[in-house]
C-alpha cells in the first residue's frame, strides 16, 4: 500500500473492552483482539483503530491515561500488543491507536508531581489557577461531563482545569516541556511500528491563556448538561493548536506511510474539520460529529457533507457510529429496519473520504438496553434521562447466539451485559445467511475496495427527486452514479443513457421506459457511459 494508504481507506474501530474476552474475566483484552483479527480482515477493511488499552484507573474506561507507554494489565502486556500489531500487518491491515493528549489521569506521575507544590519541575504541566476572592473557580467554564471545569486542590491551594471528569486534569500545552513530552510519547509508538494515531478531542489541547469567560449559549429550554449553557470559545479550538500540530506532523512525516486522524468536536463541526486538515503541516484527515449526531438521515444531510468538502484542500473522514454515540440503527433508523440500515451503510461506504466503521455496525446492531443499575459510564450516569447513553453502544459483541455471554467470554458476568436483542444478530448467525447485514456489508466493502472512483474519486451531487440522494464519484475516466432512496417512500428517476448497474440495494429495478424505480430504502450504483450529469 502507498504512503497515502489512508485516503479512501475503511478503518474498523475496535473497542477492546467489548470485542473479545480471552481470559474469562468478563472484559475484552488484546489477546481477544488477536483472536478475532482474521474476522476483521475478512470484512475487507484496510485498517484497525484500536481504542485505548493503556494503563489507567478506568474512571473513563481508558480515556484517563496514567502511563502512555504501557498496557493496562486488564488488557494484557506490551508483548500482547506487539503480537496484535504483527498479526495485523501479516493480514495486510494497518493499525492506528488512540492517543489521549488533551488530559491525563489524576494518577499520572506527571500530575502527582505537578500537584505536589507550586515550584516543582512540572508545576506548570497542568492548568492551575487561583480562586476568585470569594473562593469560587477562576471563570465560568463548564465541563463536558457536567459541572464546573475546575476542581480545588488542597495541597496546591489552587484550582486545576478538567474539560471532562475531575479525574482527568488538562495538560498545559502552553508549556514547551509538555509539548516535548507528548512528542516523545508519539515517537515511542511510531518506533514500535504503529501506522498512525487517532487523536482524541484534538482541538481541546490549548485554552485561552487569559482564562476569559465563555459567552452564554442561546437555548429554548434548559439543556441536559451544564456545559451546553455556554459557547465554548475559550476552552477549545485555540489557534495555537495548529502550531503544535505542525510539530507533530513534522515528526510523523519522518516515518514512512504513517497518518493522523483527529477527532473534532465544536460548534462548526465541518468548518473545524476542514481547518485542521487544510494544509500539509496539519492532520492527514479528521472526522467530526456531524454525522454522528444525525437522527434524521435526509438526503440534505449527506449532500451538505459532500458539498462542504467539494473545494476543500484537506481530506475528510466519516462515520455513522463510535463508542460515544447511540448506535446508528437505533439513532437514525425506523425501528432498526434492516433495509434502512443497509441503505445507510451503503451511503457511508460510497462517500468521498476515509471511512470509520465501528465494531458491530457491520452487523446492524441496535443500541443495547442497559439497566440503570448496570450502567458503568460516568457520562451515561450523570446525563441519565431513561436511556443507556454511551454504554448502550459499548456492550459486548455477540459472536454466537448461544452461551451465557454470546461467545464474547466464558464468564456469565461481563463488564456490561449482553443485550438479548443482539443474539439473533450474532456473527455466526449472519455468516450463515447470504441475506444478512454482514453479508451486505462485505459486498459493499468489496465494491469500494475494487473501485478507484469510490475510494479516491471526486464527488458531485446530481439533481434528483425529493427523498433521494444521488451523487457521482469519478476519477481517471471511471464514473459511477450512486443513488439512494432515504425517505422510506417510493420514488423514481430517469436512468442516464447507457448506464449499467454494478450493484443494487433492496428492490431497486430498471423499468422498460428507462426509469430507475426506487422502493423505500433501495438504491443502485451505476457505471456511466455518457458525459457527467453533475449539477
Q: How far apart are CA 54 and CA 33, in angstroms?
A: 15
Sheet with 509-510: strands ordered across? 491-494, 515-518, 509-510
Q: Would you state the pLDDT for residue 533?
A: 44
Distance CA 189, CA 69 (A): 8
Residues acting as catalytic residues: 200, 263
Q: Is 256 exposed, middle or buried (0-12, 13-18, 19+ CB in 10 A)?
A: exposed
> What is the full per-residue pLDDT of the chain (535 aa) written as tens digits?
578 999 999 999 999 999 999 999 999 999 999 999 999 999 999 999 999 999 999 999 999 999 999 999 999 999 999 999 999 999 999 999 999 999 999 999 999 999 999 999 999 999 999 999 999 999 999 999 989 999 999 999 999 999 999 999 999 999 999 999 999 999 999 999 999 999 999 999 999 999 999 999 988 888 888 889 999 999 999 999 999 999 999 999 999 999 999 999 999 999 999 999 999 999 999 998 999 999 999 999 999 999 998 877 899 999 999 999 999 999 999 866 899 999 999 999 999 999 999 999 999 999 999 999 999 999 999 889 899 999 999 999 999 999 999 999 999 999 999 999 999 999 999 999 999 999 999 999 999 999 999 999 999 999 999 999 999 999 998 999 999 999 999 999 988 877 888 999 999 988 766 789 999 999 999 998 544 444 3
Cα–Cα distances in Å, from 348 out to 51, 293, 301?
Answer: 21, 15, 12
Q: What topology does CATH give the domain 457-527?
A: Immunoglobulin-like (2.60.40)
Alpha-carbon distances, residue 17 vs 54, 173, 229, 265, 272 (angstroms) = 12, 30, 33, 24, 30
Alpha carbons 108 and 122: distance in angstroms, whole number? 12
Whole-angstrom CA distances from 516 to 447, 507, 534 are 21, 11, 17
**What does DSSP say about strands 150-153 and 128-129: parallel, antiparallel, or unpaired?**
unpaired
Q: What is the structure's pLDDT at 335?
A: 67
Beta bridge partners of 259: 196
Judge if 10-100+289-381+392-447 and 457-527 fold alike in CATH terms: no
Which runs of consecutive H residues, i.e. helices, occur in 332-426?
A: 338-350, 378-382
**Whole-model pTM over 0.85:** yes
Q: Which 3-state string (H, E, C) describes 67-115?
A: EEEEECCCCCCHHHHHHHHHHHHHCCCEEEEEECCCECCCCCHHHHHHC
Burial (CB count <10 Å: 0-12, 13-18, 19+), residue 183: middle
Per-residue model confidence (pLDDT) at position 529: 55
Cell match 493522523: residue?
260
Please choose, from the candidates 74, 5, 1, 89, the residue with its C-alpha nearest in 3D space to the C-alpha of residue 40. 89
Kindly tell me the number of DSSP H helices and DSSP E strands found in the chain. Answer: 13, 21
Dihedral angle, C-alpha 34, 39, 45, 51, nearest 10 °: -40
**Matching residue, cell 451544564:** 226
pLDDT for 530: 43
Nearest partner of 293 among 261, 321, 262, 267, judged by Cα: 321
Question: What is the Cα–Cα distance from 139 to 212, expressed in whole angstroms?
Answer: 7
> How many angstroms separate the CA atoms of 518 and 520, rounded?
6
Cell numbers at residue 438, please? Answer: 454482514
H runs (alpha helix) in 121-264 = 176-192, 240-252
Q: Residue 104 corresponds to which cell in the numbers above?
A: 491525563
Judged by DSSP in three states, 517 sits in strand
Region at 20 (left for phi over 0; alpha for psi -120 to 50; beta for the rest): beta
Count of Cβ atoms closer than 10 Å to residue 151 Cβ: 17
What number of other Cβ atoms are within 10 A of residue 533's Cβ?
17
Task: Delimit the domains of the chain by residue range.
Answer: 10-100+289-381+392-447, 457-527
Angle between helical axes of 176-192 and 240-252 (0-180°, round to 10): 30
Which three three-digit cell numbers place residue 203?
A: 482541538
What is the CB neighbour count within 10 angstroms for residue 410? 14
Residue with cell 455471554: 405
The rounded distance, in Å, linking the Cα atoms of 430 and 362 is: 10
Q: Give the pLDDT confidence score for residue 534 in this predicted structure.
A: 44
CATH code for the structural domain at 10-100+289-381+392-447: 3.20.20.80
Amino acid at each position: 500500500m502507498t504512503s497515502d494508504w489512508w485516503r479512501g481507506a475503511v478503518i474498523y474501530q475496535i473497542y477492546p473492552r467489548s470485542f473479545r474476552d480471552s481470559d474469562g474475566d468478563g472484559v475484552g483484552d488484546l489477546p481477544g483482539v488477536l483472536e478475532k483479527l482474521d474476522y476483521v480482515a475478512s470484512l475487507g477493511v484496510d485498517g484497525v483503530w484500536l481504542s485505548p488499552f493503556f494503563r489507567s484507573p478506568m474512571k473513563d474506561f481508558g480515556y484517563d491515561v496514567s502511563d502512555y507507554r504501557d498496557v493496562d494489565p486488564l488488557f494484557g502486556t506490551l508483548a500482547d500488543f506487539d503480537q496484535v500489531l504483527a498479526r495485523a500487518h501479516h493480514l495486510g491491515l494497518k493499525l492506528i491507536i488512540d492517543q489521549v493528549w488533551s488530559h491525563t489521569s489524576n494518577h499520572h506521575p506527571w500530575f502527582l508531581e505537578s500537584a505536589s507544590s507550586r515550584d516543582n519541575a512540572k508545576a506548570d504541566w497542568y492548568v492551575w489557577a487561583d480562586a476568585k476572592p470569594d473562593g469560587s473557580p477562576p471563570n465560568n467554564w463548564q465541563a463536558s461531563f457536567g459541572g464546573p471545569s475546575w476542581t480545588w486542590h488542597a495541597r496546591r491551594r489552587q484550582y486545576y482545569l478538567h474539560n471532562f471528569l475531575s479525574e482527568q486534569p488538562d495538560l498545559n500545552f502552553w508549556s514547551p516541556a509538555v509539548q516535548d513530552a507528548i512528542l516523545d510519547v508519539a515517537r515511542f509508538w511510531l518506533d514500535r511500528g504503529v501506522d498512525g494515531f487517532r487523536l482524541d478531542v484534538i482541538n481541546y489541547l490549548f485554552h485561552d491563556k487569559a482564562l476569559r469567560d465563555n459567552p452564554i449559549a442561546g437555548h429554548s429550554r434548559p439543556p441536559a448538561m451544564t456545559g451546553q449553557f455556554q459557547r465554548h470559545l475559550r476552552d477549545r479550538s485555540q489557534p495555537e493548536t495548529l502550531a503544535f500540530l505542525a510539530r507533530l506532523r513534522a515528526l510523523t512525516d519522518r516515518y514512512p506511510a504513517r497518518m493522523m486522524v483527529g477527532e473534532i468536536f465544536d460548534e462548526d463541526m465541518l468548518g473545524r474539520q476542514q481547518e485542521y486538515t487544510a494544509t500539509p503541516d496539519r492532520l492527514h484527515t479528521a472526522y467530526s460529529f456531524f454525522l454522528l449526531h444525525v437522527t434524521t438521515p435526509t438526503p440534505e444531510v449527506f449532500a451538505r457533507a459532500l458539498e462542504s468538502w467539494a473545494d476543500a484542500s484537506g481530506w475528510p473522514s466519516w462515520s455513522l457510529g463510535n463508542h460515544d454515540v447511540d448506535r446508528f440503527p437505533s439513532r437514525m433508523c425506523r425501528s432498526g429496519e434492516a433495509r434502512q440500515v443497509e441503505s445507510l451503510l451503503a451511503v457511508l461506504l460510497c462517500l468521498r473520504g476515509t471511512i470509520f466503521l465501528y465494531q458491530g455496525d457491520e452487523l446492524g446492531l441496535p443500541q443495547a438496553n442497559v439497566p440503570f443499575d448496570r450502567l458503568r459510564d460516568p457520562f451515561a450516569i450523570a446525563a441519565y434521562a431513561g436511556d443507556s447513553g454511551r454504554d448502550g453502544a459499548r456492550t459486548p459483541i455477540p459472536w454466537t447466539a448461544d452461551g451465557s455471554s454470546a461467545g464474547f467470554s466464558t464468564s456469565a458476568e461481563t463488564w456490561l451485559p449482553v443485550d438479548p436483542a443482539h443474539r439473533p444478530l450474532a456473527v455466526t448467525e449472519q455468516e450463515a445467511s447470504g441475506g444478512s447485514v454482514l453479508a451486505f456489508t462485505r459486498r459493499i466493502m468489496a465494491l469500494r475496495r475494487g473501485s478507484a472512483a469510490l475510494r479516491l474519486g471526486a464527488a458531485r451531487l446530481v439533481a434528483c427527486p425529493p427523498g433521494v440522494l444521488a451523487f457521482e464519484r469519478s476519477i481517471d475516466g471511471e464514473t459511477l452514479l450512486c443513488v439512494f432512496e432515504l425517505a422510506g417512500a417510493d420514488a423514481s428517476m430517469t436512468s442516464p443513457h447507457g448506464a449499467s448497474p454494478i450493484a443494487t440495494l433492496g428492490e431497486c429495478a430498471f423499468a422498460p421506459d428507462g426509469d430507475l424505480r426506487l422502493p423505500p430504502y433501495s438504491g443502485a450504483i451505476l457505471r456511466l457511459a455518457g458525459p457527467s450529469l453533475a449539477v
